[in-house]
Amino acid sequence: MLKLLFLGDIIGEPGRRAVIDMVPVWKKDRGIDFVIVNGENSAGGRGITPRITIDLLRAGVAVITTGDHVWDQKDLASFIDTEPRLLRPVNYPEGVPGQGVIVLDTPKGKVGVINVQGRTFMQPSLDNPFHVLDRVVAKMREETSVIFVDAHAETTSEKIAIGRFLDGRVSAVVGTHTHTQTADERVFPGGTAFLCDAGMCGPTESILGRSIEPIIQRFIHSMPVSFPVAHGPVTLCGAVIEIDETTGRALSIQRVAEVYQPPERPAPAPQP
Q: Which residues of 205-223 are buried (b: 16+ CB within 10 A; e: fewer)?
A: ebbbbbbeeebeeeeeeee
- AA identity, residue 223: M
Contact predicate 234/259, CB 8 Å: yes
Catalytic residue among 69, 152, 177, 179: 69
How far apart CA 233 and CA 259 sit, in angstroms, is: 7
Extract long-range pairs of 189-192: CB within 8 Å, 24+ residues apart: 191/167, 191/247, 191/248, 191/249, 191/250, 192/163, 192/166, 192/167, 192/168, 192/249, 192/250
* Known catalytic membership, residue 69: yes
- 162-169 long-range CB contacts below 8 Å, 24 or more apart? 162/116, 162/118, 162/129, 162/130, 162/133, 163/188, 163/192, 163/194, 163/196, 164/188, 165/130, 165/133, 166/133, 166/137, 166/192, 167/191, 167/192, 168/192, 169/137, 169/141
- How many Cβ atoms sit within 10 Å of the Cβ of residue 200? 29
Q: Kindly list the catalytic residues.
A: 69
